[in-house]
Amino acid sequence: MADTKNGIYKKLLAYGFTAAVAMSGGYLIAPNEGKVNTTYLDPVGIATVCYGNTGKEAKLGNKFTDAECLDQLAKDLASHDKQMMNLVRVPLTDYQHAAFLSFTYNAGVGNFKSSTMLRKLNSKDYEGACEELSKWVYAKKQKLNGLVTRRQQEKDMCLGKTKIEIVPS
């Protein structure tokens, strides 16, 4: 998986994304969402395709190439990042940025906007904001093991416990 993470990271950097956005896409979003080239229903019944895309493209029966999935991830990251950063009023490290973008990509901008996490973040309680990630492990009132794992990875990155090492190709 390290090759896949590095590969997606490098491709996103080549698209012109910052290191924070590329880290989020390559090390948090893509591995946790997985890539499925054919639209499917996620655990809570939402039509999903590629790297967790739930937009209008995600219609059951639609199929996408690997390149189309990467392009869609890049578009989705750009959109989510712009919306998220319009809400954040404090400076972020690349690791914090990557973690909160992964959360926003997964849980949605609306949930981020109304969260205690954002309130703590914007009051410069960085550690408290990172700790809030652990609370977001439920979907339709069901605790999902995949979300527990993902939120721990996001929290570790947010708190600076994860360091990214790029493997040369």
Alpha-carbon distances, residue 60 vs 25, 57, 103, 162 (angstroms): 24, 9, 25, 36
- Active-site residue (options: 3, 42, 68, 132): 42
Number of helical (H) and strand (E) elements in the chain, helices listed first:
9, 4
Rounded CA separation 100/109 (Å): 10
* Dihedral sign (CA 67, 1, 20, 81): positive
Catalytic residue status for 127:
no
From the list 89, 119, 86, 101, the residue with the least C-alpha distance to 19 is 101
Strand 47-50 versus strand 36-41 pairing type: antiparallel
Catalytic residue status for 33:
yes
- Active-site residue (options: 33, 76, 132, 154): 33
* CA 20 and chain centroid, separation: 11
Number of Cβ atoms within 10 Å of the Cβ of 123: 12
Active site residues: 33, 42
